């Protein structure tokens, strides 16, 4: 944990939302200098912190709107600390429904050196990382659509349809395995749904692979050489740990991935 006690004697905690944000500023003694709600715009934020801008360090919980605030801090030369929201039990564990803001507890944790810090993804990689994450629910939905096409063959039982449902040749003709019209209709629906998003997923994967190659082609090529690691898992690791050298041991890396505490 880095302490900001000499050059940055003021601590700013931000509870950031899509349409509004609470900003709390503490001095070195812990006295509240500012605690207010404001619009989520760069102009409003810079205007509010203008008197203390040169002595301020900003901390915000890692929620989805933090991109613009991190970019603003880098452009304006304001120290910026990103904290993982799920690793802040001191805030979220004691937060009640009537609480209006977590900005003050964030500033208190920052001042006391107890704010867990996360590593933000480089600005040039964020859009591709978001697209990679967007692909995950699409792949899960595709698996849910394909599952009903194989379950009936094990329930009745019937000859297996095949393991490669990605192939159109494997999916065709499955309905004829059922003598009952209801069973035939069930397999027809499963077959139709299992292939409707194939072109969309391929287009998403192609875009991710193309942009990822430009971001860090060397690391991506090395990840592809790991036995058992396919293209998608390689991309997940590439974008999950863009600064892998920040982990001195493997245990820290596993903890950052929430595999262990």
For domain 10-118, the CATH superfamily is: ATPase, nucleotide binding domain (3.30.420.40)
Dump pLDDT digits (tens) for 208-225.
888 877 778 888 888 889
What are the residue ranges in the chain where pLDDT is below 70?
1-8, 85-101, 148-154, 156-177, 194-196, 256-259, 261
2: left (phi over 0), alpha (psi -120 to 50) or beta: beta
Q: First vs last Cα of the chain: how many Å apart?
A: 18
Pairing of strands 10-16, 32-39: unpaired
What pLDDT shows up at residue 151?
67
What pLDDT shows up at residue 188?
76
What pLDDT shows up at residue 106?
87
The domain spans of the chain are 10-118, 124-255
Distance, in Å, from the CA atom of 109 to the CA atom of 75, rounded to the nearest integer, reads 25
The string of DSSP codes covering the chain is ----SSS--EEEEEEE-SSEEEEEEE-TT--EEEEEEEES-HHHHHHHHGGGGGGEEEEEE--TTHHHHHHHHHHHT--EEEE-GGG-HHHHSS--TT---SHHHHHHHHHHT----B-PPPGGGHHHHHHHHHHHHHHHHHHHHHHHHHHHHHHTT-----S-TTSHHHHTTGGGG-SSHHHHHHHHHHHHHHHTTHHHHHHHHHHHHHHHHHH-HHHHHHHHTSTT--HHHHHHHHHH-TTGGG-SSHHHHHHHTTS--
**Threshold 0.85, pTM exceeds:** no
Paired residues of 37 in beta bridges: 22
Cβ partners under 8 Å of residue 34, min gap 6: 23, 24, 25, 48
């Amino acid at each position: 944990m880095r302490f900001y006690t000499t050059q940055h004697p003021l601590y700013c905690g931000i509870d950031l939302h899509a349409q509004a944000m609470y900003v709390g500023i503490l001095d070195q003694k812990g006295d509240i200098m500012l605690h207010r709600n404001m619009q989520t715009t760069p102009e409003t934020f810079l205007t509010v912190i203008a008197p203390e801008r040169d002595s301020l360090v900003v901390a915000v919980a890692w929620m989805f709107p933090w991109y613009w605030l991190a970019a603003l801090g880098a452009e304006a030369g304001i120290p910026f600390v990103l904290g993982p929201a799920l690793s802040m039990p001191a805030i979220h564990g004691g937060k009640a429904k009537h609480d209006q803001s977590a900005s003050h507890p964030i500033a208190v944790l920052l001042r006391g050196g107890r704010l867990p810090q996360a590593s933000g993804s480089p600005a040039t990689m964020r859009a591709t990382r978001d697209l990679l994450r967007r692909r995950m629910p699409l792949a899960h939905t595709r698996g849910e659509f394909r599952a009903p096409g194989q379950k009936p063959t094990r329930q009745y039982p019937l000859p297996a349809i095949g393991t490669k449902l990605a192939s159109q040749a494997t999916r065709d003709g499955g309905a004829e395995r059922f003598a009952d019209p209801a069973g035939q209709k069930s397999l027809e629906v499963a077959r139709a749904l299992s292939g409707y998003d194939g072109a969309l997923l391929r287009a998403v994967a192609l875009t991710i692979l193309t942009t990822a190659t430009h971001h860090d082609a060397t690391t991506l090529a090395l990840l592809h050489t790991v036995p058992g690691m396919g293209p998608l898992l390689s991309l997940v690791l590439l974008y999950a740990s863009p600064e892998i050298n920040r982990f001195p041991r493997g245990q820290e890396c596993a903890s950052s991935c929430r595999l262990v505490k």
